[in-house]
Amino acid sequence: MTEGVGRGVLGPWLRAGARSALFKAPRWPEARPSSIGLLTVLVVGLGVLLQRGTVAGPALFYWQAINSGWLSTVLLLWVCWLVGRGSPQAAGAAVLFGVLLAQQLLISMPLWGVYLALTHWPAASASRSVAWLLWGIPLLVVGWGALAGAWLLCRQTERSGLRATVLLVIVAMAALDLFVPPMPFWYADEPKAKAELADKRLHLTQEVAEAQSGAVIAALNALQPQRPGVVDLYAITFAPYASEDVFAREASMVSDVMRSRFDAQGHVIQLQNHASTASSLPWATRLNLQRAIQRAASLMDRDEDILFIHLTSHGARDGQLATEFWPLDVEPVTPQLLKTWLDDAGIRYRVISVSACFSGSWIAPLSDPGTLVMTAADAEHTSYGCGSRSELTFFGRAMYDEQLRSSTHSFEAAHAAARQLIDQREREVGKSDGYSNPQISVGSAVRLPLAALQVRLDSAAVGAR
C-alpha cells in the first residue's frame, strides 16, 4: 500500500524530471506540497547516503553540515518564482521547482553512484582512464544539470531579460557547486577526525564563557607600552567566521609574521572565532575589536607608531564582513564602523588589510592621508582560497606567508608582488569570474612612519646575519 502511494505521489514528477533531463518538454504534474517535500527529502537523503560510501570503515556523522550548501537552493527557488511570475504561460513556481528537483535527482544520483563504485574499484588507482572519469563525473553532473535546468526554465518565457537572468543564476549555482561545495556529513572514525569535528562545534558552557572573559582581559593587558623614539607597530588580527578553518589559520600566520618580522612582540592581539580557541583567544566580535583598538591607542605614541589590522573572512558587495560563531550572535563589521572606531581612538597612522571577496569596497571609506588600505580583491570580484579545503587564502599566502615573511618589510612592495602571484595562481586553477584584482591605497602622511619602520627593520635584519 505504501509503495503504491509513493509511486502515485512521485511518479509524475520523476517522469517529468526524466523528460526535462533529456531536453524534452515535460508533462506538468499537479503541484502538491507533499510531493515537493518528499522530493527534497530524497535529494538530501540520497546525497547523505552516497557520501557515506566515500568513507571507508567506521564513520562519524556531522549533522551540522545540513546548515551548509543551501544558497543554490535559494537561488533556484528565486528564479523559479521569477519565471512563474513573469510569464503567464509558464508553469507555477512550485511545479517548476519540483520538476527541477526530480531532474537533479535523476541526473546526479546515477552518476554519483558510478563515481562511488569507481573509487572502491581495487584497480582504480592504477588506471589513467578511471582517474579522468573521477575528474570528469563531477563536471558532468554540474554541467548536465545546469544545461537541463536552463533549458527547462528558458522554455517557459519569451522575455530576453528574464532568460538572461535565468542563465546568470544557473551559472552562479554551477560555480557554487564546483568551487564552494557544502560541508561533508561523514568523517572517518579516527582520532584526528574526531578532533576536527570537536573543533567545529562551540560548546557554550559557563566554563567557556568565564574563560573567554579572562582571555579578553589577559590579551588586552598583555599589550606592552610603546618604546620612546622607536616607530613601533601594533597589530590586531580579526577572523570572525568560525566555520572555515582557513580564516583562523590565516589570522595565526599573520600574527606570527608581525611578531617575527615586524618586531611586534608584545604588541599583537589576535581576535578569532573558532571552537578550538574559544577559551584561550578573545572572540572576534565588534566590541572586542573596538576594545583592542582603544587599548592599543592608549599605549601607542600617536605621532610615530602604526596600528596594523588584518581582517579575514567572507565578504559581500555591501562591504559587510561575514561573521559566524553559532550559537553566538555576532554582528558584522563594516568599513564605516572601523573608521569611526579608529578616529574616536585618535590613531593617526594605520595599515588596514582586508582579505575577503569584494573587499575593494573598503578602500574608499577608509582612505585618508594617514592610512594604507590593501585588499584581496576589488569591489566587483571575489577573492580566492577561502573554502573549507584551503590552507590559506591566495591573498594571505602571497602577501604575508611569502612576501612579508621573507622578502620585504614594505607593504607596498609586498602587495605589488602578491598581485602578480595571485593573478598567475588564479589562472592556473581556472578562476571563472575574472582576476580578483587586489587593491591598495596609500595616504601621503603614512609613508613617512612606514619608511622609518622599514629602515629600522631592514637594518636589524642585516645586523642579524
Which of 38-52, 194-208, 353-367 has the largest mean confidence?
Answer: 353-367
pLDDT at 86: 67
Strands 306-312 and 268-272 turn out to be unpaired
Bigger pLDDT: 66 vs 108: 108
Which among 198, 233, 254 is the end of a domain?
A: 198
Peptide bond into 33 cis (omega under 30): no
Q: How confident is the model at residue 50 (pLDDT cuts 50, 70, 90)?
A: confident
Bigger pLDDT: 60 vs 126: 60
Condensed to tens digits (0 to 9), the pLDDT of residues 98-107 reads 999 999 989 9
Distance CA 69, CA 62 (A): 14
Q: Is the pLDDT of residue 51 over 90?
A: no
Assess whether 150 and 221 both reside in one domain: no
Percent of the chain exceeding pLDDT 90 equals 43
pLDDT at 351: 97
Assess whether 306 and 439 both reside in one domain: yes
Q: Is the pLDDT of residue 3 over 50?
A: no
Q: How confident is the model at residue 317 (pLDDT cuts 50, 70, 90)?
A: confident
pLDDT at 231: 92
pLDDT at 133: 78
Strands 350-355 and 306-312 turn out to be parallel
Assess whether 154 and 301 both reside in one domain: no
Instruction: Give the chain's mean pLDDT.
Output: 85
Closest to 194 in 3D by CA, of 186, 183, 182 = 186
Closest to 436 in 3D by CA, of 385, 352, 378 = 378
What are the CA-CA distances from residue 149 to residues 38, 174, 441 (Å)? 20, 11, 43
Assess whether 189 and 219 both reside in one domain: no
In a domain, 204, yes or no: no
Q: Is the pLDDT of residue 292 over 90?
A: yes
User: Which whole number is the average pLDDT over 142-164?
Assistant: 90
User: Which whole number is the average pLDDT over 207-224?
Assistant: 85
Q: How confident is the model at residue 189 (pLDDT cuts 50, 70, 90)?
A: low
Q: Is the pLDDT of residue 68 over 80?
A: no
Which among 198, 230, 261 is the end of a domain?
A: 198
The CATH number of whichever domain residue 294 belongs to comes to 3.40.50.1460
Chain centroid to Cα 136, Å, comes to 25
Q: Is the pLDDT of residue 295 over 90?
A: yes
Condensed to tens digits (0 to 9), the pLDDT of residues 345-387 reads 999 999 999 999 899 999 999 999 999 999 999 998 888 877 6
Condensed to tens digits (0 to 9), the pLDDT of residues 439-459 reads 999 999 999 999 999 999 998
Closest to 345 in 3D by CA, of 315, 320, 370 = 370
Bigger pLDDT: 384 vs 421: 421
In a domain, 152, yes or no: yes
Q: Is the pLDDT of residue 56 over 90?
A: no
Distance CA 45, CA 455 (A): 61
pLDDT at 1: 29
User: Which whole number is the average pLDDT over 121-127?
Assistant: 61
Instruction: Quote the number of domains for the chain.
Output: 2
Q: Which domain holds residue 292?
A: 212-464
In a domain, 203, yes or no: no
Percent of the chain exceeding pLDDT 70 equals 88
Q: Is the pLDDT of residue 322 over 50?
A: yes
In a domain, 205, yes or no: no
pLDDT at 305: 94
Assess whether 138 and 226 both reside in one domain: no
Condensed to tens digits (0 to 9), the pLDDT of residues 217-237 reads 989 999 999 999 899 999 999
In a domain, 376, yes or no: yes
In a domain, 407, yes or no: yes
pLDDT at 465: 59
In a domain, 86, yes or no: yes
Burial 148-175 (b: 16+ CB within 10 A, else e): bbbebbbbbbeeeebbebbeebbeebbb
Assess whether 152 and 38 both reside in one domain: yes
pLDDT at 394: 92
Q: Is the pLDDT of residue 246 over 80?
A: yes
Q: Is the pLDDT of residue 41 over 80?
A: yes
Assess whether 28 and 171 both reside in one domain: yes
Assess whether 256 and 176 both reside in one domain: no
- Residue 140 is placed in which grid cell? 558532468
Assess whether 37 and 60 both reside in one domain: yes
What are the CA-CA distances from residue 39 to residues 17, 99, 195, 427, 464 (Å)? 11, 9, 35, 38, 67
CB 436 within 8 A of CB 420: no
Which among 168, 198, 228 is the end of a domain?
A: 198
Assess whether 362 and 216 both reside in one domain: yes
Assess whether 194 and 222 both reside in one domain: no
Bigger pLDDT: 65 vs 145: 145
Assess whether 448 and 379 both reside in one domain: yes
Average the pLDDT over each of 83-97, 99-113, 284-298, 356-370 and give the range with the smallest value. Answer: 83-97
The 3-class secondary structure across the chain, one letter per residue, is: CHHHHHHHHHHHHHHHHHHHHCCCCCCCCCCCHHHHHHHHHHHHHHHHHHHHCCCCCCEEECHHHHHCCCHHHHHHHHHHHHHHHHCCCCCCHHHHHHHHHHHHHHHHHHHHHHHHHHHCCCCHHHCHHHHHHHHHHHHHHHHHHHHHHHHHHHCCCCCHHHHHHHHHHHHHHHHHHHHCCCCCCEEECCHHHHHHHHHHCCCCCHHHHHHHHHHHHHHHHHCCCCCCCCCCEEEEEEECECCCHHHHHHHHHHHHHHHHHCCCCCCEEEEECCHHHCCCCCCCCHHHHHHHHHHHHHHCCCCCCEEEEEEECCECCCCCECCEECCECCCCECHHHHHHHHHHHCCCCEEEEEECCCHHHHHHHHCCCCEEEEECCCCCCCCCCCCCCCCCCHHHHHHHHHHHHHCCCCHHHHHHHHHHHHHHHHHHHCCCCCCCCCCEEECCCCHHHHHHHHHHHHHHHHHHC
State the burial class of residue 323 (Cβ atoms within 10 Å of its Cβ: 0-12, 13-18, 19+). Answer: buried
pLDDT at 194: 47
In a domain, 412, yes or no: yes
